């Protein structure tokens, strides 16, 4: 049977997708990117915002329209929070909530009568991850969150914190490396809280991974800017732990952060950024900002804008606040008018673009190892192949039409900043 897997939303969803892909392959099925070829489609949905829930519904309808004969299974946060609605959508054969998604493959094969005897033994990495055009693997290390930020519905959809034991994570990373993966990203709903209920912590997990695996590149997913020990910063002395962190700030105004029930003040955040940049001038800090949170005054907005500018982020994900049913923020007074939210969003996008260009310009002349991806674009009579530096800058190099760099790491000199990437010059071994 041919199985196609689709996801919306966070990196945790992508990590779960890869786990399912490998499990389907181990059960004798084939992973395909071609929806029309699939007999079974799995959708890992998102509901972090109302718009994400809308996109989840749209994806379900579109996939059923493109392949009405395929069995369709929906899981994820949208399916968990709106189980009856998801079940009623045309074409949906099965809904599996987040609390049951660890058994998604077994449940799907049993309830839809699709179990088969494995017909051949193949390499799971080639069949699942590479088949889906991925050169790096997301590894889920924990789920759930014990905090309740007032704007967040994910904690409701994902439930309490559950951490995976360190030996299981190490085994998964070693297996991925044996399959040809050179970079993994640790991910979770509350990654910084890893191990809180099993008497360990994120720092210990990273130490063990660096000691007991030979994975070349270890990256951390979105990390809430609190609960990081002094020992955490010393981990970046190992070059295999890559110099990039995504630290969701959400607002640069302490008054707004209090209404959000965030646990990190701007002064603490600034101190953290200073410590990270002291490790290396290449350290890239990216963030999330919510524009127009309920009650955000002009003064608070200016404080937030000024603080973001002060931090000089390498990239900013910008979200205009929209009420999310089931969250405390949805009932807060003094909503910000849509016109003001749009104005502030445009202002912040302009600033984010300038900061990104400035950070990229500051990296020119650096020679860095790049993990090249399968994605290419036509470029004059040749083509561009894209990849990422250790500090998560998107770069490109000119390659011949018949040349494939996918999943290779090679050194390149960053030479020219464009709007969407940095052009590089690859170096020969003798130049490294």
- Written as six digits, the tokens of 284 are 């890239």
**Does residue 414 surpass a pLDDT of 90?**
yes
Query: What is each CA distance from 206 to 181, 182, 227, 234, 242, in whole angstroms?
Result: 18, 16, 15, 11, 12
State residue 128 phi and psi, 5-degree precision: -100, -65
In terms of Cβ atoms closer than 10 Å to its own Cβ (0-12, 13-18, 19+), residue 9 is: buried
How far apart are the C-alpha atoms of 218 and 255, rounded to whole Å?
35
> Tens of pLDDT along 205-244?
999 999 999 999 999 999 998 888 999 999 999 999 999 9
Residue 318 lies in a domain: yes
* pTM of the predicted model as reported, rounded to 2 decimal places: 0.88
CB 273 within 8 A of CB 249: no
Residue 383 lies in a domain: yes
Regarding whether 395 and 342 lie in a shared domain, the answer is no
Regarding whether 150 and 116 lie in a shared domain, the answer is no
How far apart are the C-alpha atoms of 160 and 5, rounded to whole Å?
26
**Does residue 123 surpass a pLDDT of 50?**
no
Question: What does the pLDDT average to over 48-74?
Answer: 94
> Tens of pLDDT along 267-302?
999 999 999 999 998 999 999 999 999 999 999 999
Tally of CB atoms within 10 A around 290: 22
Helix 11-26 vs helix 104-111: angle between axes, to the nearest 10 degrees? Answer: 50
Residue 20 lies in a domain: yes
How far apart are the C-alpha atoms of 173 and 129, rounded to whole Å?
13
Q: Which residues of 339-348 are buried (b: 16+ CB within 10 A; e: fewer)?
A: eebeebbeeb
Residue 115 lies in a domain: yes
Regarding whether 351 and 264 lie in a shared domain, the answer is yes
**Which residues form the domain of 117?**
2-125
Regarding whether 6 and 121 lie in a shared domain, the answer is yes
260 band by pLDDT with thresholds 50, 70 and 90: very high
Regarding whether 255 and 321 lie in a shared domain, the answer is yes
Residue 130 lies in a domain: no
Regarding whether 24 and 74 lie in a shared domain, the answer is yes
Q: What is the pLDDT of residue 220?
A: 97
Regarding whether 17 and 113 lie in a shared domain, the answer is yes
CA atoms within 13 Å, Cβ hemisphere of 249:
31
Residue 356 lies in a domain: yes
Hey, CA dihedral for 392, 394, 399, 402, is it positive or negative?
positive
Kindly give the residue spans of alpha helices, DSSP state H, lying in 223-372. Answer: 230-234, 254-260, 266-279, 298-311, 338-362
Domain boundary among 92, 125, 158: 125
CB 106 within 8 A of CB 112: no
378 band by pLDDT with thresholds 50, 70 and 90: confident
How far apart are the C-alpha atoms of 376 and 402, rounded to whole Å?
12
Regarding whether 346 and 262 lie in a shared domain, the answer is yes
How far apart are the C-alpha atoms of 2 and 25, rounded to whole Å?
10
Torsion of CA 60, 109, 48, 154, to 10 degrees: 160
Q: What is the pLDDT of residue 89?
A: 95
3-state SS assignment for residue 334:
coil
- Written as six digits, the tokens of 404 are 């494939």
Regarding whether 254 and 164 lie in a shared domain, the answer is no
CB 183 within 8 A of CB 216: yes
Residue 104 lies in a domain: yes
- Written as six digits, the tokens of 98 are 């987040």
CATH code for the domain in which residue 181 is found: 3.30.750.210
In terms of Cβ atoms closer than 10 Å to its own Cβ (0-12, 13-18, 19+), residue 383 is: middle
Q: What is the pLDDT of residue 118?
A: 45
Domain boundary among 242, 269, 286: 242
- Nearest residue to 57 (alpha-carbon basis) of 40, 39, 82, 32: 82
CB 255 within 8 A of CB 283: no
120 band by pLDDT with thresholds 50, 70 and 90: very low
Regarding whether 283 and 256 lie in a shared domain, the answer is yes
Q: What is the pLDDT of residue 116?
A: 53
How far apart are the C-alpha atoms of 150 and 294, rounded to whole Å?
11
Beta bridge partners of 74: 43, 95
Residue 411 lies in a domain: yes
Q: For all residues of the chain together, what is the average pLDDT?
A: 91
**Does residue 124 surpass a pLDDT of 70?**
no
> Tens of pLDDT along 389-399?
999 999 999 99
Regarding whether 172 and 63 lie in a shared domain, the answer is no
Mention every residue, 6+ apart, whose C-beta is less than 8 A from residue 279.
233, 236, 237, 243
Regarding whether 144 and 68 lie in a shared domain, the answer is no
CB 240 within 8 A of CB 216: yes
User: Domain total for the chain?
Assistant: 4
Query: What is each CA distance from 338 to 43, 114, 256, in whole angstroms?
Result: 32, 48, 18
**Does residue 117 surpass a pLDDT of 70?**
no
Q: Which residue has the higher pLDDT, 84 or 133?
A: 84
428 band by pLDDT with thresholds 50, 70 and 90: low
Q: Which residues of 226-264 are buried (b: 16+ CB within 10 A; e: fewer)?
A: bbbeeebeebbeeebbbbbbbbbbbbbbbebbebbebeb
Q: What is the pLDDT of residue 395?
A: 97
Instruction: State CA 207 to chain mean position distance.
Output: 22
Domain boundary among 362, 385, 405: 362
How far apart are the C-alpha atoms of 215 and 170, rounded to whole Å?
10
């Amino acid at each position: 049977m041919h199985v196609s897997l689709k996801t919306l939303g966070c990196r945790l969803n992508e990590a779960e997708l890869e786990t399912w892909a490998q499990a389907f392959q181990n059960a004798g099925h084939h992973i395909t990117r071609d929806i029309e070829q699939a007999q079974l489609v799995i959708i890992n949905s998102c509901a972090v915002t109302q718009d994400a829930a809308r996109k989840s519904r749209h994806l379900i309808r579109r996939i059923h329209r493109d392949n009405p004969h395929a069995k369709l299974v929906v899981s994820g946060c949208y399916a968990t929070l709106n189980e009856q609605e998801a079940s009623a959508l045309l074409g949906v054969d099965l809904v599996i909530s987040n609390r049951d998604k660890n058994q998604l493959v077994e449940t799907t094969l049993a309830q839809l009568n699709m179990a088969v005897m494995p017909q051949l033994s193949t390499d799971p990495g080639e069949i699942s991850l590479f088949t889906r055009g991925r050169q790096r693997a997301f590894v889920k290390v924990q789920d759930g969150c014990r905090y309740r930020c007032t704007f967040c519905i994910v904690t409701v959809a994902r439930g309490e914190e559950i951490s995976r034991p360190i030996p299981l994570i190490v085994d998964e990373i070693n297996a991925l490396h044996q399959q040809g993966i050179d970079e993994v990203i640790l991910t979770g709903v509350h990654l910084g809280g890893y191990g809180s209920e099993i008497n360990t912590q994120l720092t210990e997990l990273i130490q063990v991974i660096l000691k007991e695996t030979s994975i070349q590149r270890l990256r951390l997913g979105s990390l809430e800017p609190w609960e990081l020990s002094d020992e955490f910063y010393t981990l970046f002395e190992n070059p295999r732990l890559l110099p990039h962190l995504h630290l969701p700030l959400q607002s640069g105004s302490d008054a707004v952060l209090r209404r959000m029930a965030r646990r990190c003040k701007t002064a603490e955040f600034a101190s953290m950024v200073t410590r990270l940049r002291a490790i290396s001038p290449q350290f890239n800090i990216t963030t999330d900002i919510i524009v127009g949170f309920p009650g955000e005054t002009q003064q608070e907005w200016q404080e937030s804008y000024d603080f973001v500018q002060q931090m000089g982020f390498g990239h900013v994900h910008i979200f205009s606040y929209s009420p999310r049913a089931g969250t405390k923020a949805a009932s807060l007074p003094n909503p910000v008018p849509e016109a003001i939210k749009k104005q502030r969003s445009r202002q912040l996008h302009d600033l984010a673009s300038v900061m990104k260009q400035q950070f990229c310009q500051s990296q020119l002349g650096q020679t860095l190892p790049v993990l090249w991806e399968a994605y290419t674009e036509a470029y004059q009579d040749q083509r561009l192949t894209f990849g990422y530096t250790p500090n998560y800058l998107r770069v490109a190099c000119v390659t011949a039409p018949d040349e494939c760099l996918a999943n290779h790491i090679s050194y390149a000199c960053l030479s020219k900043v464009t709007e969407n990437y940095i052009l590089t010059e690859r170096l020969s071994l003798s130049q490294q």
